[in-house]
Amino acid sequence: MTSTKNQPTETRPSWIYLFTLTLLVLAIGVLFAWWMANSTDRALRGSLLQQTRLVANALDIDKVKALPGPKLILTHLNICSLRNV
């Protein structure tokens, strides 16, 4: 009968385990960074949308339409001289 004590066992080198662990930690770090960036982006977009709605509700459209527009600005000498450059 053959004895299993004398047979060599195959073991992987320790660098393979270290390399695999490093890749795993790196992948987890990348996924966490992506998740945090996505979460922060969503929160900032929500805040910006809320602020935009607040300003839009505070403005009176008739008063905005009554403001002098580009005609007044374009007749100003400094602006006209910049447009000709």
Q: Does residue 3 lie in a domain region?
A: no
Residue 72 pLDDT grade (very low, low, confident, very high; cuts 50, 70, 90) = low
Report the pLDDT value the prediction gives residue 13, as an integer from 0 to 100.
78
As a whole number of Å, the end-to-end CA separation of the chain is: 99
Q: Which residues form the domain of 34?
A: 18-84
71: its two tokens:
């005609």
For residue 6, the 8-state DSSP code is S
Contact (Cβ atoms closer than 8 angstroms) between residue 79 and residue 73:
yes
CA atoms of 18 and 25, how far apart (whole Å):
11
6-63 pLDDT, tens per residue?
Answer: 665 666 678 889 999 999 999 999 999 999 999 999 999 999 999 999 988 888 888 7
The count of domains in the chain is 1
Report the pLDDT value the prediction gives residue 47, as an integer from 0 to 100.
97
> Is this structure's pTM higher than 0.85?
no
DSSP readout, 53-83?
HHHHHHS-HHHHHHS--HHHHHHSHHHHHHH
Q: Does residue 5 lie in a domain region?
A: no
Q: Does residue 12 lie in a domain region?
A: no
